[in-house]
Amino acid sequence: MMISGLTKALKTLTHSLAVVALLAMPTAEALANSRIKDIVEIEGVRENMLIGYGLVVGLNGTGDSLDSAIFTRESLVGMLERLGVNARDTNLDSANVAAVMVTATLPPFSRQGTRIDVNISAIGDSGSLLGGTLLVTPLLGADGEVYAVAQGPLAVAGFEAEGDGAAVSRGVPTAGRISNGAIIEREIDFNMMQMDTIRLSLRNPDFTTSRRISQAVNAFIGQPIAQPLDSATVRLTVPDNYLNDAVALITDIEQLRVSPDQVAKVVIDEKSGVIVMGENVRINTVAIAQGNLTIRITETPQVSQPNPFAEVGETVVVPRTDIEIDDDSDRRLTVLPSGVSLQELVDGLNALGVGPRDMITILQTIKAAGALQAEIEVI
């Protein structure tokens, strides 16, 4: 009886511990910010850019002018000659043809015969590609080889309508898209099954993040297969239980979660006045005062006339000048203590009543004074 009661108690305790562990799992995962697959790229697994030159036909009088777009005229003549039509000695006058550039992205591991999307953009003086059809266009890679062939009717979102007294335009009618408009004709050989080492490239290079990734992988595998080579690369040595199965190794480790680190940085877009500050931005003790001197001069001339029936006098214009000087004396010096957080820094600058443009100048001045412990990047 005592043994049975002890066994029952142990089962109850084990069940309780399992419940506690299950409840604790979401909290542990919530503390980790990102999956490895969201912050790295697999070296060798990449896309390739494709480009081609072609003709769009079937336009309703919105094509290129063959007199000014010489490349369109020569391309049209060359195409007709390949089809057995002699059009070089005739005066071509068609407004239904436009020369275009065709671009596409070749995904990794794409196989011959599969389809990809293509984008089409006019390069001549065509007014709209609405209703056009792209003729057969080879798409070339950076090595000059043909990897896909595109053809099909365009889908154009923009349009233009014009009358004698008004015109309406929406979107960009000189650009279109063909979904699944290109067929892949050449594959890029890349065999992952025989790989004995795998390199992970960080999208945002950082030494701390690189080390955390290697620690997370080694803890999961149970042996030191991951080594951070630098701030942007982690090398994985495929263990024996994953030989000839590198895909399985990548699948297992890319779901691991790590907390990416980042440097303290302030990014400023000078053109639009946008400011983005990282979480780790800190400043030393500094006093800030912001103000502008404004001088406003208002002229209100008055007319002076002599009294009625006066024997002497004349009508003259008497100047009246009003000068106002605003030196922002109501704004006071603000002291920001050492080691303030991002929220405190923003609150302190907002207390001065400054706008984004003035805030950019203040941040650059604080940096020049050596009090801003962050990198400023102007884009």
Secondary structure (3-state) at 347: helix
* Domain shared by 52 and 180, yes or no: yes
* Domain shared by 156 and 222, yes or no: no
* Domain shared by 281 and 369, yes or no: yes
Burial class (CB in 10 A: 0-12, 13-18, 19+), 171: exposed
Report whether 232 contacts 201 (CB < 8 A).
yes
- pTM exceeds cut of 0.75: no
Secondary structure (3-state) at 133: strand
Lowest-confidence pick of 21-30, 186-195, 296-305: 21-30
Query: Predicted confidence band at 358 (pLDDT cuts at 50, 70, 90)?
Result: confident
**Residue 330's pLDDT is what?**
57
pLDDT above 80 for 56:
yes
Please list, in sequence order, all residues whose beta carbon lies within 8 angstroms of the beta carbon of residue 317, skipping any fewer than 6 positions away.
Answer: 301, 302, 303, 304
Please list, in sequence order, all residues whose beta carbon lies within 8 angstroms of the beta carbon of residue 23, skipping any fewer than 6 positions away.
Answer: none
CA angle 356, 361, 367 (to 5 degrees): 120
Please list, in sequence order, all residues whose beta carbon lies within 8 angstroms of the beta carbon of residue 297, skipping any fewer than 6 positions away.
Answer: 321, 322, 323
* Domain shared by 326 and 208, yes or no: no
* Domain shared by 116 and 179, yes or no: yes
Span 173-188, pLDDT tens digits: 999 999 999 999 999 8
Give a yes or no: residue 320 inside a domain.
Answer: yes
**Residue 359's pLDDT is what?**
79
**Residue 24's pLDDT is what?**
42
Please list, in sequence order, all residues whose beta carbon lies within 8 angstroms of the beta carbon of residue 365, skipping any fewer than 6 positions away.
Answer: none
* Domain shared by 174 and 254, yes or no: no
Averaged pLDDT for residues 161-165? 69
Torsion of CA 8, 13, 17, 20, to 10 degrees: 100
Report the DSSP beta bridge partners of residue 298. 322
**Residue 89's pLDDT is what?**
67
CA dist., res. 262 & res. 375, Å (int): 11
Give a yes or no: residue 160 inside a domain.
Answer: yes
Lowest-confidence pick of 90-104, 218-232, 288-302: 288-302
Last residue within a domain, chosen from 141, 164, 184: 184
Last residue within a domain, chosen from 184, 206, 232: 184
* Domain shared by 198 and 86, yes or no: no
* Domain shared by 141 and 269, yes or no: no
Report whether 198 contacts 42 (CB < 8 A).
yes
Closest CA to 248 of 259, 258, 260, 236: 236
pLDDT above 80 for 10:
no
* Domain shared by 60 and 160, yes or no: yes
* Domain shared by 180 and 53, yes or no: yes
Averaged pLDDT for residues 371-377? 84
Give a yes or no: residue 19 inside a domain.
Answer: no
Indicate the number of domains in the chain. 3
Give a yes or no: residue 60 inside a domain.
Answer: yes
* Domain shared by 274 and 349, yes or no: yes
CA end-to-end span of the chain: 78
For residue 11, how many other CB atoms are within 10 A of its CB?
10
Report whether 194 contacts 243 (CB < 8 A).
no
Span 326-355, pLDDT tens digits: 555 555 555 656 666 666 766 766 776 667
Give a yes or no: residue 331 inside a domain.
Answer: yes
For residue 116, how many other CB atoms are within 10 A of its CB?
21
Report whether 213 contacts 234 (CB < 8 A).
yes
Phi, psi of 197 (to 5 degrees): -135, 145
Give a yes or no: residue 177 inside a domain.
Answer: yes
Query: How many helices (H) and strands (E) are present in the chain, helices listed first?
Result: 6, 25
Closest CA to 102 of 180, 182, 172: 182
Give a yes or no: residue 365 inside a domain.
Answer: yes
Phi, psi of 263 (to 5 degrees): -80, 155
Maximum CA pair distance of the chain? 137
Report whether 268 contacts 274 (CB < 8 A).
yes
Mean pLDDT of the chain, nearest integer: 81
Q: The tokens 């960080």 sit on which residue?
A: 202
Give a yes or no: residue 249 inside a domain.
Answer: yes
Phi, psi of 337 (to 5 degrees): -70, 170
* Domain shared by 226 and 284, yes or no: no
CATH number at 229 reads: 3.30.70
CA angle 76, 79, 83 (to 5 degrees): 135
Last residue within a domain, chosen from 184, 213, 240: 184
CA dist., res. 276 & res. 60, Å (int): 47
Report whether 265 contacts 375 (CB < 8 A).
yes
Q: The tokens 């008004």 sit on which residue?
A: 166
The domain of 222 spans: 191-258
